[in-house]
Amino acid sequence: MQTDPNTTDPTTLDPTTTDPTTTDPTETDPTETDAPTAPDGPHPLGTPTELATPLGTFPAVAGDGVVRVRNVRYATAGRFEAPVPAEIRPDEASDRRFQRLACPQPASPSDELLGRPLRGVEFDEDCLRLTITIPEDAPDEPMPVLVWVHGGSYVSGAGDLAGYDPAAIVREQRVIVVAVTSRLGLLGYPTDDAHPANLGLLDLIAAFRWVGEHIGGFGGDPERITAVGQSSGGDALAHLIAADDARGLFRRVILESAPLGIRTGRAEMQRRMAEAAGPLEPDAALDDLFAAQARAKQGIASQAVISGA
């Protein structure tokens, strides 16, 4: 495994900022946000390079002491369908090496407080992707692997955001970080009985399977995979710990700010959400799904008021 030795040291990006050349997704249709293109000279996100692996040569970006491979597909899925393992195609994302992807999602009320963390992100339902970050001077021996599952109440966020930049821990601790992006909201967790439940969790299982099978090609040790989840990501991992289908996919787990606890009335909550959201049509426009999602949220709120929770 090696990177192109002829690349130059890029101008790096402060992890609290985003690429000024990208568009603001809060001001555009999530399905129409254009991916940024690299300008002449050093790109703010790093220098284009190639990463040669036993799986093939992947388009990558080098900078800040690390090499990143973005938008590695781990599965495919139609809307409201379970994920299916994807064929490895190293050159598939050659025109997206600088682009961060996220599942389509409505604007979050916290965006202004958090400085619009999704600024410059491209929204796409075809979002079952990984970002793999390795040390630029990777050692010969296999490295420990951290698989990052982001938070966002199961309705917002993405795995590869500037605020989650793993460059420091990758560079200093000599580990590989794999950031997972999966389906969110009603796209990942349909409320009705007409569609499979917990698709977002099935996405995560598919992602961990891909990592276990293929991370060795990037210099990672498949026997030392640690799952790291924050907030709802931690809650998701807590569910995977008890899931038979996730058995053996990771050796250790770190739960950060997970909303753990036993909540009563889950069946009633589900019923109210499904009733409020209404039927979910596979060919519905995203705006219609977002409206149904808002109604489902209101259904939960009404239950809390009625029950005194």
Q: Residue 309's pLDDT is what?
A: 41
Who contacts 220 (Cβ-Cβ below 8 Å, separation ≥6)?
134, 142, 143, 144, 145, 176, 211
Q: What is the DSSP letter of 41?
A: S
133 in Cβ contact with 170 (< 8 Å): yes
- Cα separation, 230 vs 152, in Å, equals 9
- Cα separation, 213 vs 219, in Å, equals 12
Looking at 1.10.150.120, 3.40.50.1820, 3.40.630.10, 3.40.190.10, the CATH number of the domain 41-261 comes to 3.40.50.1820
The 10s digit of each residue's pLDDT in 156-205 is 999 999 999 999 999 999 999 999 999 999 999 998 889 999 999 999 99
In angstroms and rounded to an integer, the radius of gyration of the C-alpha atoms of the chain is 19
Of 19, 30, 197, whose CA–CA distance to 126 is shortest? Answer: 30
Both tokens assigned to 4: 């192109």
- Min mean pLDDT across 72-81, 104-113, 287-296 is at 104-113
User: CB 105: neighbour CB atoms within 10 A?
Assistant: 22
Of 76, 218, 91, 198, whose CA–CA distance to 146 is shortest? Answer: 218
Q: Residue 173's pLDDT is what?
A: 97
CA dihedral 62, 63, 67, 72 (to 10 degrees): -70
Mean pLDDT of 75-97: 94
Mean pLDDT of 1-14: 41
195 in Cβ contact with 166 (< 8 Å): no
Both tokens assigned to 18: 């985003």
The boundaries of every CATH 3.40.50.1820 domain in the chain are 41-261
Residues in the chain: 309
Global pTM reads 0.82
Q: Residue 192's pLDDT is what?
A: 87
Q: Residue 303's pLDDT is what?
A: 55
> What is the helix (H) or strand (E) element at residue 53, kind and residue range?
strand 47-53
3-state secondary structure of 216: helix
Q: Residue 56's pLDDT is what?
A: 96
Looking at the predicted structure, is the pLDDT value of residue 100 above 90?
yes
Bridge-based pairing of strands 176-181 and 143-149 is: parallel
Q: Residue 46's pLDDT is what?
A: 86
The 10s digit of each residue's pLDDT in 114-142 is 666 788 899 999 999 999 999 999 999 99
